[in-house]
Amino acid sequence: MDVPYRSVLIILIIFLLANKCVSFGDTTDGYPEMSFNQSWGLVNIPTAILLKHGQIRASINTAVFSIGLFNYFQLGLIAFNSGSKFYWGNALEVKLIDEEGSWPAFAVGAESETENPHLITAKYFDSNYIVASKNMGIFGIGHMGLGTGRFIGDGEVSSKLNGLFFGIEKTFYEDSKNPLTLKLEEDGRDVNFGIEYIVMESFELNLTVTKLDNWLYQHPAPDNYPILMLGFCIDGVLSPVPPVNDKALKIG
C-alpha cells in the first residue's frame, strides 16, 4: 500500500475517535459486556496462538493491553465501560503444547472482568476455557474451544452450544507488507466477523461486525441489528527477561 493511502486510513481512524464512533462495549441487562476483544485472539474468542516472549499489544477497541512471557504465558489488562461507569479486568492464558504434526496447539485461560460486588453475579464476568488452534493449509487457521461464563449464551443457537466456541481466519497477501486477514467465529453467544489489515509495521487496523445472529435470526427491535466497530492495535517488544527457550509458537 502506498504511503498516501496509509495516511488516509490513519486520518480516518483519528476522525472516528474524535467523533466517538468507536464503541468500547455494549450493555446487556444493565451489565457491561466485553463484546469486542481484538487485542488477542480472533474477534471475541481466545486462540492457542499467544504473544511471543516480550511482545506487547495495545488495542483501542476495549482499551486492552497484553504481554507475552516466556512464549507460554500471556497476561492481559482489560478496561471497558457501561454507560458512564468504567471497569477493569484481567486475563491469563497458558499454552500447554505447540502444534506438531496432526496435533493442534492447546491453551487454557481464565478471565475476570470485574471485582465490583454489584456486578460480580453477572454470569459472563468470570470465564474459564480451553482452546485448540490448527493450521489447515489453504483453508486458514481453525480454532475451537470450550468455556464457561461469557462463552455460554441463551439464543436460538448459542443455548444449544453449551459453551462451545469456534472460528476460522484466513490471511491473504502474506508475503506483502500489508497482509489482510478475514475472521469468522461463533463465540458461544454470537456470530462475529472481522477484518484485520496491517497498515504498517506494528500497526493494525481492525473492522468488526459483531452480533450477526441478531440479523440472521431476525431478533425483534431494538436488538435486530449487528454492531459495527472500528479500531486498531499497536504492537511492540519489551523483553527484560530472557525466555526459557527461543522457540516461539509457530502454527504450521
Half-sphere exposure of 157 (CA within 13 A, CB side): 16
With CA atoms as reference, report the closest residue to 91 among 143, 127, 135, 142. 127
pLDDT digits over 26-84, tens only? 434 344 444 445 557 888 899 999 999 989 888 876 667 888 988 999 998 876 655 55
pLDDT digits over 93-133, tens only? 999 999 999 999 999 999 876 555 555 555 556 789 999 99
Q: pTM higher than 0.75 for the full model?
A: yes
With CA atoms as reference, report the closest residue to 130 among 140, 144, 118. 144
pLDDT digits over 183-206, tens only? 999 988 888 899 999 988 888 888
Helix, strand, coil: what percent of the chain each, to 5?
10, 45, 45
Cell of 231: 479500531
Rounded Cα gap, residues 61 and 77, in angstroms:
13
Contact 113, 87 (CB under 8 A): yes
Does the domain at 3-237 match CATH 2.30.29? Answer given as no
Contact 198, 6 (CB under 8 A): no
Confidence (pLDDT) at 77: 81
Run of H or E residues at 159: helix 158-161
Cell of 200: 504498517
Half-sphere exposure of 57 (CA within 13 A, CB side): 26
